[in-house]
Amino acid sequence: VSYGRDAGGERTVSRGGGGLATALRGLVEQHDVTWIANAMTDEDRVVAGEDQRGTILIAQDRDAYARFYNVIANPTLWFVQHMLWDLARTPDWDDARHDAWTNGYVPVNVRMARATLAELDRDPSAAVFFHDYHLYLAPAFVRRERPDALLAHFVHIPWPEADAWTVLPPTIRHDVLTGLLANDVVGFHTHRWQRSFVRSCVDVLGATVDGDMVEYDGRRTLVTSHPIGIAPSELDELKQDENVLAREREIEASRPEQLVLRVDRTDPSKNVVRGLRAFGLMLDRHPDLRGRVRMLALLDPSRQDIPEYVDYVAAVEREARSLGNAVDLRVGDDFARSVAAYKQFDVLLVNAVFDGLNLVSKEGPYVNERDGVLVLSENAGAHEELGEWALSVNPFDVSAQADAIHEALTMSATERRRRAEAIRAHVRAHDVGAWGDTQLADLDRVRSLP
Amino acid sequence: VSYGRDAGGERTVSRGGGGLATALRGLVEQHDVTWIANAMTDEDRVVAGEDQRGTILIAQDRDAYARFYNVIANPTLWFVQHMLWDLARTPDWDDARHDAWTNGYVPVNVRMARATLAELDRDPSAAVFFHDYHLYLAPAFVRRERPDALLAHFVHIPWPEADAWTVLPPTIRHDVLTGLLANDVVGFHTHRWQRSFVRSCVDVLGATVDGDMVEYDGRRTLVTSHPIGIAPSELDELKQDENVLAREREIEASRPEQLVLRVDRTDPSKNVVRGLRAFGLMLDRHPDLRGRVRMLALLDPSRQDIPEYVDYVAAVEREARSLGNAVDLRVGDDFARSVAAYKQFDVLLVNAVFDGLNLVSKEGPYVNERDGVLVLSENAGAHEELGEWALSVNPFDVSAQADAIHEALTMSATERRRRAEAIRAHVRAHDVGAWGDTQLADLDRVRSLP
């Protein structure tokens, strides 16, 4: 939730878009939940000073928050976990980055832990769910004060193996891991990230493993994997939304015979440049398809306070320009257009370098009405679930991506339908509600441990 | 061994410098060994056409060799194994890189396997030792023809975990792993690389593990780790060599009170730029040391056919210039100067991003005559052996490296001596002869298996 003011000076409320916010909203609506979050806007900060119920916004120190968010969370941790650093050159742990850790990431986590403790004072039996890479330290601060609290953490991004974690200095990677192991449950989207996390605990901390429990420093933590799902009913409604239908008419009016779609944030992990190159290579190999197929790239500009992200958008735009009108690149935040494009694609390209899960690979096929084919990176978390029905690609293999796009464009209707139906059935059966149930089941399991 | 012609047209022979060549020479001299290698120079190619004994040079197709060496071995495999790719941007497996694999790395390995098979025809009981990342496929080609041959492989560079290997397309990483598992023994310098290799086999191939044996496709491969050592007697002699003594007089005449040394190839994995930054930061923090301490960086220009390497030398030179006369940067191949500098250092900086072992960290302290302190990256293989006597640094933590250099410069004479003596004793006890014995013991072990 984020607050603003309208032209008349009245307070406005907007609810976050994006897959994760949508997914969590479903969970929150079904249970008695207090949501604690950092204040982002000026009006959020006003709300943070008021008497809050249900949603509690924390007004962090602005400088600390900037260090926390724009230096440590992004790009440092994000780049470590997606293996995006150009290690011969970056990052440096110089005074600025150390300062961002000590006077940014640490105090923001402390502040969040304090708000959590206040909520536990109000309701000592409440379970606490921490989310993602912004809050690796908070669980340890809460645990110190509440040895018996029930704490769970879900990490939505990839967890690489111990070598990649050496990009963090020893004390920092130690604190990240011990922070997470202060929880009773740590969850990931895939077996792959789960396994890497367990190995990291063994390699870095010398933790021991007993089945799916990690033992360290006299505590046991359940480490699980549960891929998050979509909210089918929300998407069903959205498909009929007037804005979406208007967008769809625009796409239909201008689309060629076949449409290759990608929908992403402009994040280096999403691998947009190689995707464009692959599409161009496919056209070079099959010139008969020129004019009959177009790539529509809908990119939500992301984290534009961070130089690495600004550079990446420029690289994407250069690559797209080199392909002329074979590519329709739209950089902007327009979820209605994304949903309209989901309905219209013949091929959906998800070729992420690394991705924790990738909800586009579930939303797109669920909404699609043309039995479109999913081309899916083997390094996207969703590949564990959907790989058998997608055309798998290696994210670095531009040549193979070109071939996969062509195979998708020329696949028989029967085969397209078979694959599309299998994905839709899987996505419907494993929705966000089912995911929420797994979170609660994990809690029940650790609650009942001796 | 490499051949040339002198001014009078007579054939000349030069023996490779560098730690690995020195180390292997000791092994070769003590046993009845045939050395098979690729011809590098024009004269090598002439020799390759002659009747050869003891050393067999293979004249590979020039284009195939260029693809093999300058595209696949370096940078592709080297960058994968040292985690140096800037994955949002590079590498692309485009037509050129695929071609370099299919028409470069593969046929060069086939040709090397054929030469090995010819040698096995001559002596069917001979054991075959493959070395390093250039020959991952050759063992499988030999195994196909000689199911009972005794094959061992030593990988001298890091082995990262399975996530890093996804930079290779699935069939290629499969062939790399099955190529290695065609050996009876696969050796690494450290437990860390050994463990990652075993995990890769499990993750990528679904191999099973039984103690230190990996089982795959009906075969068992012993996976071991034995850090290579130096040849003490060669270094003892070199210390007294007239060229070395001349170089030492030059260094002595110009040296300030204290000397911080690094000796490396100009390879991005060596982390020269961050080392220079750390030294500059140390001087900023301790201006009293300006003029009293200098960094001497002796860099052997390496792989200058490869753009990434040319760029890196330029970055090193820019960084060094920014530090003025606090840094004496020498880019050139002068082993005598390196040995002279080994004798003279007060601090030896080895801060590699990743390094299979790093022989400088053994040669330097062994030769040094000032109880110099070793500052050693936690990601250098030698850290498993020498870490307890070195000042450990994280290669990305420029701030901590600055502190470690200062700590080394200001360490008490007693403490310096204690550490230096411990390293010298370890290096002397674990020399290259001892390493060779471990290779033979591993062979005996697999030979005696049922």
End-to-end CA distance of chain A: 38
Cα B353 to Cα B86: distance, rounded to the nearest angstrom: 14
Tell if the CB–CB gap between A353 and B274 is shorter than 8 Å. no
What pLDDT sits at residue A33? 87
User: What is the average pLDDT across A95-117?
Assistant: 98
Tokens of B31: 């046993």
Over residues A60-87, the mean pLDDT reads 96
**3-class SS at A153?**
strand
Residues of chain B in contact with residue A92, where contact means CB-CB under 8 angstroms, are 274, 277, 396, 398
Query: Alpha-carbon distance A379 to A159, whole Å?
Result: 12
Which of residues A6 and B348 earns the better pLDDT score?
B348
Mean pLDDT of A160-178: 97
Distance between CA atoms of residues B251 and B146, nearest Å: 55
What pLDDT was estimated at residue B22? 66
Residue A311 pLDDT level (bands cut at 50, 70, 90):
very high
The minimum CA-CA distance between B81 and chain A, rounded to whole Å, is: 11
pLDDT band at B54 (very low <50, low <70, confident <90, very high): confident
Average pLDDT on B146-170 reads: 97
d(C-alpha A164, C-alpha B354), whole Å:
11
Would you call B138 exposed, middle or buried from its count of C-beta atoms within 10 A (0-12, 13-18, 19+)? buried
User: What is the Cα–Cα distance from A423 to B351, expressed in whole angstroms?
Assistant: 48
Asked if residue A345 lies in contact with residue A387, where contact means CB atoms within 8 angstroms, the answer is: no
The band of B350, judged by pLDDT with boundaries at 50, 70 and 90, is very high
Which residues does chain B have within 8 Å of residue A98's beta carbon, measured at their own beta carbons? 399
Best B72, B89, B174 member to test A by mutation, with max A CBs in 10 Å, is B89
B-chain residues within 8 Å CB-CB of A169? 394, 396-397, 400
Given a cut of 60, is residue B320 above it in pLDDT? yes
Query: How close is the nearest chain A Cα to the Cα of B379, in Å?
Result: 8
| β-bridge partners, B128 | B151
Q: Which of A87, A274, A378 sits opposite B83 (nearest CB)?
A: A87
Does residue A301 surpass a pLDDT of 70?
yes
Q: What is the pLDDT of residues A12-51, one digit of tens each?
A: 988 765 556 766 776 677 778 899 999 988 899 988 888 8
Residue in B94, B395, B399 nearest the CB of A98? B399
The torsion of the CA quartet B94, B100, B103, B109, rounded to 10 degrees, works out to -140
Query: Looking at the partner chain, which of A88, A315, A399 has a beta carbon nearest the beta carbon of B93?
Result: A399
pLDDT at B304: 85
Beta carbon pairs, A and B, within 8 Å = 128
Residue A15, pLDDT score: 73
Q: Return the percentage of chain A with pLDDT > 90, whole number.
A: 86
**Confidence label for B18 from pLDDT (cuts 50, 70 and 90):** low
The reported pLDDT for the residue numbered B391 is 98
Å between A203 CA and nearest CA of chain B: 9
pLDDT, tens digit, 9 for 90 and up, residues B62-88: 999 999 999 999 999 999 999 999 999
The mean pLDDT of B191-220, rounded to a whole number, is 97
pLDDT at position A26:
67
| Residue B28 pLDDT | 72
The pLDDT of B327-341, averaged and rounded, is 95
What mean pLDDT is predicted for residues B213-231?
A: 96
Cβ-Cβ contacts under 8 Å, B170 against chain A = 378, 394
In this structure, of A213-217, B13-17, B417-421, the range with the lowest mean pLDDT score is: B13-17
Amino acid B2: pLDDT:
83
Confidence at A91, pLDDT banded by 50, 70, 90: very high
Which pairs from A69-75 meet CB under 8 Å and 24+ separation? A69/A134, A70/A303, A70/A305, A70/A306, A71/A96, A71/A97, A71/A100, A71/A104, A72/A97, A72/A100, A72/A101, A72/A104, A72/A105, A73/A105, A73/A133, A73/A134, A74/A303, A74/A306, A74/A309, A75/A306, A75/A308, A75/A309
CA-based nearest distance A37→chain B, Å: 30
Residues of A in contact with B399 (CB under 8 A): 93-95, 98
CB-based contact A277 B164, cutoff 8 Å: no
**DSSP one-letter string for B237-292:** HHHT-HHHHHHHHHHHHH--SEEEEEEEES-GGG-HHHHHHHHHHHHHH-GGGBTT
ipTM above 0.85, yes or no: yes
